[in-house]
A and B are shown apart, each in its own frame.
Chain A
């Protein structure tokens, strides 16, 4: 089966600019996650979708970050305006169900550098 697709692979922007990341999960996976991985740390959950509804966005900095999942399939994560501390890898993951004991399938991530 095809994996989780993410684009772009890399992005460099200046602070205060905006940026968007795209994710296409595995077909049939109802649950989609966005994680932020700062260099030297483990991934941290930003937002979780169940189909096209938000389940958990408690760690999402809502003053600058937004995310949507259109028709319960693809998802977009946006940052506006970006800050230097947003430099990180943004990982998208999907799973059949939120409590899947098989873990999640991750994409290759987008490395964002804010200068």
Chain B
């Protein structure tokens, strides 16, 4: 079974600085997708960024980018120019190609300090 590990329960960063959240996963397959979701206090899970495993190029969405290391099974999220509104829980998630189950890590609580 696929597992997703987020080793940082909590992190903090100063406003305007850069922070990196770690995620590792375990799979024996080659076709899969990886996601980072943000969950603010409103509880809604919001998709931040996604990566297809077959793509070597790292995904980027404005201030959010990933470092996808397929051989190391690592998928870290970098947030540049952190903003107060980035304060939230961040979940790394894995979806096996052809599967139907999105598997989440335990999350990292990120606090952006003014």
Contacts and interface: CB of A to CB of B under 8 A. Distances in A.
Interface string A99-115: 10111111111010000
Interface size class of A (residues with CB under 8 A): 20 to 34
Given A41-B107, A48-B100, A98-B100, A103 B47 contact: yes
Contacts of A98: 100
Nearest to A111: B43
Given A41-B106, A45-B102, A101 B44 contact: no
Given A40-B106, A45-B101, A48-B100, A99 B42 contact: no
Contacts of A67: none
Contacts of A3: 44
Contacts of B50: 101-103
B45 A91 contact: yes
B104 A42 contact: yes
A26 interface: no
A103 B102 CA distance: 8
Interface of B: 4, 33, 35, 37, 42-47, 50, 52, 91, 93, 95, 97-102, 104-107
